[in-house]
Amino acid sequence: MQNLHNYTLGAWHPHQGKGTEQFNAITGELIATAGSEGLDYAEIANYARKTGGPGLRKMTFYQRGLMLKKLALFLHERRKSYYPLSYATGATKVDSWVDIEGGIGTLFAYASLRRKFGNETFYVDGEAVKSSKEGTFMGHHILSPRHGVAIHINAFNFPIWGMLEKLAPTFLAGMPSIVKPSELTSFLTQQMVKDIINSGILPEGALQLVCGTGVGILDPVTSQDVVTFTGSAVTGRMLKSLPQIIENAVPFNMEADSLNASVLGEDAVPGTPEFDIFIKEVHREIVTKAGQKCTAVRRILVPEKLVEDVQIALGKRIATTPIGDPQVEGVRMGSLVHKVQVEEVRRRVEELNAGTDIVIGNLDDFEVIGADRSKGAFFNPIIFLNDDPFKKQDSHNIEAFGPVSTIMPYRSLDEAIEIANMGKGSLVSSIVTADERIARDYVIGSAPYHGRILILNESCAKESTGHGSPLPQLMHGGPGRAGGGEELGGARGVKHYLQTTAIQGHPTFITAVTNQYQYGGRQTEKPVHVFRKHFEELEIGETVVTARHTVTEADITNFANVSGDNFYAHMDSTSLEGTIFEQRVAHGYFVLSKAAGLFVDPKKGPVLLNYGIDECRFTKPVYPGMTIGVRFTVKEKIDQEKKSEEDVAKGIVKFLVDVYDETGETVALATILTMVKKLKQD
């Protein structure tokens, strides 16, 4: 037995007092004790704010993204070392893969967002707001790292993924973190944190770990801090209502267990691929992690006429699912994490059984492979039948956090939607159907009550990540009972740790603050063309004012011949009655192409290639006889890392292409991206 150490104030400390005993969920053997008595949470939080915060905030988003990538690669190399302890939580190899490699994959996903957020310590969000007629006053939004600490209170079911899916956006945003995993499974979290600290990849004070109960950890929170919670809705609501959370308006992101529903479409009758997919998916969500998932299927909604078919098919599949030691060949379902959970789930099953009947499974009569059932935390899958889901409400209120679910009949799609929504807010729902109308109507009817909806059928089943799998790029959370919070979601998850500030002023000054050129700001002409300069030499606002070109009818005809675009407005002057055009109009893409011909310096130089177009607007018709020119301005610079020693050191430069006519009025605006070589190649 070991005494789990907490990592605080830059060092490992053994806990004081007795602590919580942690057991191997399969063998019942004592693994460790975890405690947090005697910790000074005010000192711990202040250390994060004063040491970890400045270290992270001085890094740019791009640098923090590279830090995440480096950490992900480091942990990926050591991933196999976490599996033995994961098995001790009752997880199978597949369960462990989701927890361990799924968590590391989330780090990779957030590391890739560094290009979106750019190479500043803050993020310029959205579009500029024009606030004056003459263009001398404008507004914008910037998002800056909060000057506090993120406190992450995690559940017992995913000791690694639960930590990494929160740390990834937190570190990318530039905030230090205090991680408080469940005291039941923190022995696995601690092993990974030891590796993270030993790697030296994170700045000092960026990460601290509390392995015990963490009582009092939220006492010192301030308005600059952020709290995230994953766990039961009851505990989450209690923490969210603490006086210090309310008084300081502390952002509190809550992801609570919910009564998620999976719906079998009326078209998915036995013999169809969709029926088989439904049975397979529901079964997987019951046995994966032994049902200990906040996204697991708790309510199985089935057309009334298909209840018996589903019950028989699901029963056969469950009956052939071996339960036991995850390290024994053939075992497909492990155990709950602790005998305390066995008692809790059993209590909930008995409550549900007071009003509904068990139709699949038995609480006491089941076999376990490779282990002693009396010593481990094993639990048999239990399926109820609620034959009147509108009258028998317990199925919509009581959650047994284990391999437990309830079949419910519905008579119409409207009823199915109503029943699904009776969960009072869920993290996820799924609809299995080959009918596009059914899918559309279900999504529109149930979306307000769900954070995510999976539409599943034969066309996507092979590549689907499944009902219970949140993705780093998509939002994870849900309304009502599910907590009302949002996690993950790509950039959305990062913004949770940033403070949004509206800034106003002259475009030149907003340019100076954001380091992105704002339309109407000061433009600086230099004697050397921008295409002759390396990445480091270019300055924001540096502008080339090009020669001009008078557009002719021959230009329009020739471009139509080259492009094949013979749209009537360009080619037939007799068809313009009733349109906005006065005469044949030049193609918008001709205007942009001609602009490129005007602003490009054709000789070989630091510009390696055109990387693409972010934005393009044609704001005024261009007719034959009009003269156009271009103001070509360095808008933004985005650094890039070398992918290998042989790679060319380079960055991406965004240029504003402002095409104007002889009156000075803009006729087209575009942002182009170019890849530009750096002067220094080391």
Annotation marks residue 255 as catalytic: yes
Residues in contact with 186: Cβ distance below 8 Å, sequence separation at least 6, in sequence order: 4, 22, 34, 159, 211, 212
With 0-12 CB in 10 A as exposed, 13-18 as middle and 19+ as buried, what is 445? Answer: middle
542 included as an active-site residue = no
Query: In 10 A of CB 200, how many CB atoms?
Result: 9
The first and second tokens of residue 203, run together, are 């700045």
Candidates 272, 271, 273, 267; CA nearest to 302 is 267
| Residue that is written with structure tokens 């993290």 in the block | 427
- 283 with 317: CB under 8 angstroms? yes
Both tokens assigned to 640: 């890039």
Q: Which residues touch 663 (CB under 8 Å, ≥6 apart)?
A: none
Cα–Cα distance, 109 to 123 (Å, whole number): 18
User: Catalytic residue among 165, 266, 281, 294, which?
Assistant: 294
DSSP string, 599-655: H---S-SSEEEEEEEEEEEE-S---TT-EEEEEEEEEEEEE---SSTTSPPEEEEEE
* Residue 376 DSSP one-character state: S
Question: Could you tell me where the beta strands, DSSP code E, fall in 89-122?
Answer: none
Chain-centroid distance of CA 273 in Å reads 31
Give the H/E segment covering residue 167. helix 161-173
- Both tokens assigned to 87: 């098995």
Are the beta carbons of 452 and 427 closer than 8 angstroms?
yes
User: Residue 619 to residues 201, 588, 592: CA-CA distances in angstroms?
Assistant: 49, 9, 12
Catalytic annotation, pick one of 255, 274, 281, 542: 255
CB 652 within 8 A of CB 558: no
Rounded CA-CA distance 634/539 in Å is 7
Instruction: Please name the residue ranges forming H helices in 301-409.
Output: 307-319, 339-353
Q: Which residue matches tokens 């630091």?
A: 606
C-alpha dihedral over 431, 434, 440, 444, to 10 degrees?
A: -10
User: In sequence order, what are the beta bridge partners of 321?
Assistant: none
d(CA 336, CA 376): 8
Residue 195: burial class (beta carbons within 10 Å; 0-12, 13-18, 19+): middle
Hey, which residues are catalytic here? 255, 294
